[in-house]
Amino acid sequence: MFDYEQYFRREMMPHIWCKGCGNGVILKALLRAIHRLDLSKDQIAMVSGIGCSSRLTGYVDCNTLHTTHGRALAFATGLKLARPEVTVIVITGDGDGLAIGGNHLIHAARRNIDLTCLLFNNQIYGMTGGQVSPTTPEELFSTTSPYGNIEAHFDPCRLVEGAGGTFVARGTAFRTIPLEKLIAEGIQHKGFSFIEILTTCPEIHGRRNKLGTPAEMLQALAKTTLPTGVLRKTSAPEYTEVCEGIIARAQGRG
Amino acid sequence: MQGTVRLMQGNQACAHAAIAAGCTFFAGYPITPSSEIAEELARLLPRMGGKFIQMEDEIAAMAACIGASIGGHKVLTATSGPGFSLKQENLGFAVYTEIPCVVVNVMRGGPSTGLPTSPAQGDVMQARWGTHGDHPMVVLAPASVREIYDLTIQAFNLSELCRTPVILLYDEVIGHMREKTEVPDPSQFKIIDRKQSTSSPDAYLPYKGDEDDVPAFVRFGEGYRYHITGLAHDERGFPTQNPRVVEAKQRRLHRKVEQRREEIVAHEAFLLDDAEIAIFAYGVTARSARAAIRTARKEGIRVGLFRPISLWPFPDLELEKLAGQVKAIVVAEMNLGQLIYEVDRVVHGQTRIVAYQKASGEPVHPEEILTAVREHR
């Protein structure tokens, strides 16, 4: 039996996630991935934005930074550049990472800075009460699409590929062992790694759209028609290493 | 040791002083009239082993600075008008999470895109209150190239000392003008670094203020695993809605700046001893005021200059003293009324306040101030 307690901040429990939410499943996969890689909690920094998924950082006994809405990648970029030896993991959601913070995702990928970004895609703004997000499927209902969503949803993995992301993957909160492996592979990848994780919001999103019980919603993730697994893996110069090279050159050493 | 004399531009002086103050990280975004600071640091920082990054926007630049400061670096970002507006949310994050950083705002004409290459003093209230919520703010306003140098160092020192953002606020003229500048030798100024925790990781409380109300710092990755959040938080850094804890934090945030008042608050008094009229001015406007005063003195008008160097905290006590001595204070600003309201608050009817305001994108000419002084002698 895996000992999750060693990674939790007990004093932060109970967590704020609703019963049946997929986020806890992802958190556990992340902790197993960290354990699998034998990373010390001291050397890990977790950086998040605002939203349900971003509350994850409060629960994990690492160096944790809960920032402003959409800006986790920008804070993480500064931290990583300042301390390249720290393993920086960014937690974001579909609203945080693709709407208000979409610009930072493009540029973190373009720079190929060694961050691992986990984007929890539950298709909705959960924390604010269920508003439509950039990944809400067409015609689904939310508090701000009471007549059905009229906007096209988009594929964040293709966005990151287009921006030059060197590690792009998609997993689900249903298949937790492959997810754990994807996260571990993403952390190990040198450069920007992006993992979209399809998850569920049964309470706010599922009930309104009659998507079934929490268990049925998780099972539905298994039937996604989107490709899962590692979608792209290439290598390119990593940003903080390139910066060190610039310093060496400016100092006449390179 | 003596300093070296150079012909220097204001923005260039800011960049060089940042290095002298120990800055090792800059994140920015291009914007007129502050870009020279970024350009100079892009060249200088790598030579010192420091990091420079041009971010995708102003918001990201502010965020990256805070991230790097959490990583233990002294950080700077520089911007102007529209960019300063964009930085406000993360600036408030730095206030609340007590992360040191220095932000330069080279003021240009506004609102909106306004006059990108012309001076103004329209961001004075924004510098104080631009980010939402109740918060303290430290804002310094240099009026010469040399003073940009000195106050950049002071901004870093105060930021490290109080663990709060410090804003260096000057207008386009001060930023772009070049003048003969004596660059001080490092032996001529002191450098302050943020207080480091001496407690063990287990006993570390990242948001417990010491006697000076400032909590001790530990950078990320040193074995002190703790949480930083923009939510209201307790001494452990964990979110809380406990009214007592929330209020205690709020009061400590303000107190840590207030109790350093003597170290922070600064003003210049020029020919005020016998003055019956005082001119209140800052930035480039204070330079014009000084010229006006020289002419007026030749005409036998006893006039002097009160120049606030720290705009926030405002030099209340110092100005109040002056109010009892002069028969009028001419407040000259490149806006249609900002700091004059602070002057009015402090003067509290003790003397007459006369406004000379200009919002054309041109600096205030000495002759204009002189005319105002002659009218009210």
Q: Is residue B206 part of a domain?
A: no
Domain final residue, candidates B148, B169, B188: B188
A75 and B231 within 8 Å at the Cβ level: the answer is no
Q: Mind listing the pLDDT tens digit for each residue in B196-229?
A: 999 999 999 999 999 999 999 999 999 999 999 9
Sign of CA dihedral B48, B50, B56, B61: negative
Q: Is residue A2 part of a domain?
A: no
pLDDT at B30 over 80: yes
How distant is the Cα of B208 from the closest Cα of chain A, in angstroms? 17
A85 and B67 within 8 Å at the Cβ level: the answer is no
Q: Is residue B223 part of a domain?
A: no
- Residue B9 shares a structural domain with residue B153: yes
B243: Cβ–Cβ under 8 A, 6 or more apart, which residues? none
- Residue B309 shares a structural domain with residue B174: no
How distant is the Cα of A40 from the closest Cα of chain B, in angstroms? 9
Q: How far apart are CA B371 and CA B365, in angstroms?
A: 10
Q: Is residue B233 part of a domain?
A: no
Question: For A242, which residue in chain B has the nearest alpha carbon?
Answer: B51
Q: With contacts defined as CB-CB under 8 Å, which chain B residues touch A41?
A: 225
Task: Tell me, yes or no, if B225 comes closer than 8 A to chain A by beta carbon.
Answer: yes
Token digits of residue B213: 């109300």
Q: Is residue A126 part of a domain?
A: yes
Residue among B59, B72, B239 whose CB faces A71 most closely: B59
Q: Is residue A103 part of a domain?
A: yes
Q: How far apart are CA A216 and CA A197, in angstroms?
A: 17
Q: How far apart are CA A47 and CA A74, in angstroms?
A: 10
ipTM: 0.98
B219 and A83 within 8 Å at the Cβ level: the answer is yes
Terminal-residue alpha carbon distance, chain B: 45
How distant is the Cα of A68 from the closest Cα of chain B, in angstroms? 7
pLDDT value for B185? 96
- Residue B278 shares a structural domain with residue B179: no
Domain that holds residue B298: 268-375
In a 13 Å sphere around the CA of B46, the CA atoms on its Cβ side amount to: 21
pLDDT at B96 over 80: yes
Spatial contact of B84 and B112, defined as CB atoms under 8 Å apart: no
- Name the average pLDDT for chain B: 97
Task: Tell me, yes or no, if B341 comes closer than 8 A to chain A by beta carbon.
Answer: no
Write down how long chain A is. 254
Question: For B222, which residue in chain A has the nearest alpha carbon?
Answer: A42
Q: Which residue has the tokens 């300063």?
A: B84
Q: With contacts defined as CB-CB under 8 Å, which chain A residues touch B222?
A: 42
B60 and A42 within 8 Å at the Cβ level: the answer is no
Q: Is residue A5 part of a domain?
A: no
Q: How far apart are CA B44 and CA B54, in angstroms?
A: 14
The stretches of A62-213 forming alpha helices (DSSP H) are 72-82, 94, 102-111, 156-162, 176-188, 207-209
Domain final residue, candidates B160, B188, B216: B188
pLDDT value for A116? 99
Tell me the pLDDT band of B376, cut-offs 50, 70 and 90. Answer: confident
Token digits of residue B185: 């030798």
Sign of CA dihedral B59, A68, B151, B341: positive
DSSP B365: P
- Residue B61 shares a structural domain with residue B162: yes
Of B172 and B376, which is predicted with more confidence? B172
Which residue type is seen at B10? G
pLDDT value for B143? 98
Spatial contact of B126 and B136, defined as CB atoms under 8 Å apart: no
Spatial contact of A140 and A209, defined as CB atoms under 8 Å apart: yes
B377: Cβ–Cβ under 8 A, 6 or more apart, which residues? B276, B277, B301, B303
Q: Is residue B364 part of a domain?
A: yes
Spatial contact of B349 and B298, defined as CB atoms under 8 Å apart: no
**How many domains in chain A?**
1
Q: How far apart are CA A52 and CA A93, in angstroms?
A: 8
Domain that holds residue A235: 10-250
What CATH number is given to the structural domain containing A27? 3.40.50.970
Q: How far apart are CA B244 and CA A63, in angstroms?
A: 26
Q: How far apart are CA A163 and CA A105, in angstroms?
A: 9
Distance of CA A229 to the CA centre of its chain: 15
The neighbouring-strand residues paired with B354 are B330
Spatial contact of B22 and B74, defined as CB atoms under 8 Å apart: yes
* Host H or E run for residue A232: strand A229-233
Q: Is residue A104 part of a domain?
A: yes
Task: Tell me, yes or no, if A37 comes closer than 8 A to chain B by beta carbon.
Answer: no
SS3 category, B107? strand
Q: Is residue B208 part of a domain?
A: no
Q: Is residue B194 part of a domain?
A: no
Q: With contacts defined as CB-CB under 8 Å, which chain A residues touch B241?
A: none
Q: Is residue A3 part of a domain?
A: no
A250 and B59 within 8 Å at the Cβ level: the answer is no
Q: Which residue has the tokens 């010229």?
A: B291
Task: Tell me, yes or no, if B221 comes closer than 8 A to chain A by beta carbon.
Answer: yes
- Residue B184 shares a structural domain with residue B276: no
pLDDT value for B249? 98
How distant is the Cα of A33 from the closest Cα of chain B, in angstroms? 19
Q: Which of B200, B225, B205 is nearest to B215 (CA)?
A: B205
Spatial contact of A13 and A5, defined as CB atoms under 8 Å apart: no
A-B contacts (CB, under 8 Å): 139
Spatial contact of A21 and A200, defined as CB atoms under 8 Å apart: yes
Q: Which of A22, A90, A12, A6 is nearest to A50 (CA)?
A: A90
Tell me the pLDDT band of B377, cut-offs 50, 70 and 90. Answer: confident
Number of CB atoms found within 10 A of residue A12's CB: 17
Q: How far apart are CA A205 and CA A140, in angstroms?
A: 9
- Residue B279 shares a structural domain with residue B163: no
Q: Which portions of chain A are predicted below pLDDT 70?
A: none
Q: How far apart are CA A187 and CA A80, in angstroms?
A: 14
Give which of A83, A127, A192 to mutate to test B binding, by max B Cβ within 10 Å.
A83
Q: Mind listing the pLDDT tens digit for each residue in B264-286?
A: 999 999 999 999 999 999 999 99
Terminal-residue alpha carbon distance, chain A: 50
Q: Which residue has the tokens 């923009």?
A: B230
In SS3 terms, B225-291 reads as CCEEECCCECCCCCECCCHHHHHHHHHHHHHHHHCCHHHHCCEEEECCCCCCEEEECCCHHHHHHHH
**How many domains in chain B?**
2
How distant is the Cα of B143 from the closest Cα of chain A, in angstroms? 31
Q: Which residue has the tokens 């920007």?
A: A192
B60 and A63 within 8 Å at the Cβ level: the answer is no
Q: Is residue B342 part of a domain?
A: yes
User: What percent of chain B stands above pLDDT 90?
Assistant: 99
Number of CB atoms found within 10 A of residue A108's CB: 28
The neighbouring-strand residues paired with B196 are B217
pLDDT value for B2? 81
What CATH number is given to the structural domain containing B176? 3.40.50.970
Domain final residue, candidates B188, B208, B239: B188
Q: Mind listing the pLDDT tens digit for each residue in B70-84?
A: 999 999 999 999 999
Residue among B46, B69, B219 whose CB faces A246 most closely: B46
Q: With contacts defined as CB-CB under 8 Å, which chain A residues touch B63?
A: 67-68, 71, 74-75, 77-78
Q: Is residue B86 part of a domain?
A: yes
Residue among B66, B220, B228 whose CB faces A83 most closely: B220
